[in-house]
Amino acid sequence: MTDRTNFRPLGALRGALRPPADKSISHRAAMIAAMGEGETDIVGYLDAADTRSTLAAVQAVGARLVHEELATDAVGEGDGLGAPNLRIGGVGLRGARSAAIDVGNAGTLLRLLPGWLAGQPEGRWTLDGDESIRRRPVDRVADPLRRMGARLAAREDRLPPFEVEGAPLHGITYELPVASAQVKSCLLFAALLAEGETRVVEPLPTRDHSERMLAAAGAEVRREGDTVVVAPAQRLEPGRIVVPADFSSAAFFIVAATIVPGSDVLLHDVGLNPTRTGLLAILERMGAAAIEITPKGEEGGEPVGDIRVGHSELRGCEVGGADVPLAIDELPLVALAACFAEGTTTIRDAVELRRKESDRIAVVADALRALGGAVEATEDGMVIEGGDGLRGGAIDSHGDHRIAMLGAIAGAASSDGVEVRDMAAADVSYPGFEVDLHSLQHGPPLRDPVH
């Protein structure tokens, strides 16, 4: 039976925690470790359903799990990053063996892995996953991969199961029709095994974790304006990869503390890569004045720091264009914050939200309306009339982890509470979410408050 969980408004959120490890970076770490020569240590690999799918996938193609010590609380509160929790023995860039791969719910795995596999002429692979993954398009990676020489097949030519038959590849110049880090990363992986350089032109900047990690592993990757250029590689040597806490998971508490009066929340060791933190710029435009960032330097090529957040009165704002890829997974939270802001918020240029784990335009608009918000879905975004906050009610996560957690935060900020159907979906990226929310709802005040 599907679970139903109640999230009650218990007043201010207070306390400190380290959100779970970054999902995007963890996926890349496991795949790049599998491509590597010898053994790669990963420090702080995410223990969640999606990244377990990636671990299983790299093992299916021959990578060895030399050491595994995953636990959702493996890294203690605020004490920084510890010992490696994963050691992967790579198969090398050209050593993946044929396999049937279950990607589970992981869109990132579905889109990135074929890039590496497509250029290995000895192998054949099938990628398939759950009900939601079967609705996620793969033509966005199949089209450019075919131009590089790849041999691929998909259901109705655009949906999983996705079949890859290894073939010799050649470099191309490809202008991404949508600003997608998944498509870009897939092509960067394929470029490593192609003949000649590959150039990927981005319409807008998207997250650049793959570029950073490939460069750290010895690949020749450079940026020329809006273009990422990758040269073929003989070998990768990642050695050690450090995974910061996930900004997209921290985002739930950033928004919660901003909209619940009296809150004071400290989030430790969060990845602050500017291609991920667009939510901060949007909240600033909405008037959020109680967000303090303390940078703590770089770990493995990714900037990390602490984020302390208190409550602010918000006003509506316009969100679109370059905001969208920099805050793609946080736009549902922007819509939630907008319900608590004075005036109108308009989100545009975000049609990609319809192709995520659920149709996040339809699902978010319906959910927030069911809780008392004034939200209209548009073709490529939402219009939110804010001001009164949310009354509460019941919503369904539609099996989408970010919608489940959105409902929980809405409950903490509402007047009557929110019941979330299928809260278990949160395990895809944040298995300890309910425990962390509970600790903040029952936390003592932090010393030295923000204001």
Return residues touching ligand S3P (CB under 6 A). 24, 108, 180-182, 185, 206-207, 328-329, 352
**DSSP 3-state of 5:** strand
Buried b (16+ CB within 10 A) or exposed e, 108-125: bbbbbbbbbbbbbeebeb
User: In this structure, how many other beta carbons lie within 10 angstroms of the beta carbon of residue 303?
Assistant: 17
Instruction: Report, in Å, the least distance between residue 338 CB and ligand S3P.
Output: 20
Contacts of 200 (CB under 8 A, 6+ apart): 174, 176, 184, 187, 188, 191, 227, 228, 230
Computed on alpha carbons and rounded to an integer, the radius of gyration of the chain in Å comes to 21
In the complex with ligand S3P, which residue's Cβ is closer, 108 or 358?
Answer: 108
Residue 223 near residue 283 (C-beta atoms within 8 A): no
Q: Could you tell me if 339 and 369 are in contact, meaning their C-beta atoms sit under 8 angstroms apart?
A: no
DSSP state of 372: T
23/19 Cα distance (integer angstroms) = 11
Distance CA 16, CA 14 (A): 7
Which residue number, 132 or 414, has a Cβ lying nearer to ligand S3P? 132
**In angstroms, rounded to a whole number, what is the distance separating the alpha carbons of residues 202 and 179?**
6
Q: DSSP secondary structure string, 261-314?
A: TT-EEEEEEEE--TTT-HHHHHHHHTT---EEEEEEEEETTEEEEEEEEE---E
**Residue 249 CB, nearest approach to ligand S3P (Å):** 12
Q: Least separation, in Å, of the C-beta of 23 and ligand S3P?
A: 7
**Which of 329, 396, 400, 422 does the annotation list as catalytic?**
329
* Cβ distance to ligand S3P smaller for residue 7 or 247: 247
Helix (DSSP H) and strand (DSSP E) numbers for the chain: 13, 27
Nearer to ligand S3P, 204 or 394 (CB): 204
Q: Which residues pair with 223 in a beta bridge?
A: 228
Cα gap 370→362, rounded to integer Å: 12
Q: What is the dihedral of CA 40, 42, 48, 52, to 10 degrees?
A: 10
Nearer to ligand S3P, 299 or 329 (CB): 329
Residue 178 C-beta: closest distance to ligand S3P, Å: 7
280-295: b (≥16 Cβ within 10 Å) or e = bebbebbebebbeeee
Q: How far is the CB of 353 from ligand S3P (least distance, A)?
A: 9
Comparison of 180 and 358: residue with beta carbon closer to ligand S3P: 180
Angle between helices 360-370 and 401-413 (to 10 degrees): 20
Angle between helix axes 181-192 and 139-147 (nearest 10 degrees) is 30
At 438, which helix (H) or strand (E)? Answer: helix 433-441
Within 13 Å of residue 325, how many CA atoms lie on the same side as its CB? 20
Whether 329 is catalytic is yes
Residue whose CB is less far from ligand S3P, 37 or 329: 329
Distances (CA, A) of 213 to 27, 52, 145, 241, 429: 11, 20, 21, 8, 21
Verify cis geometry, omega within 30 degrees of 0, for the bond prior to 445: no
Active site residues per annotation: 329
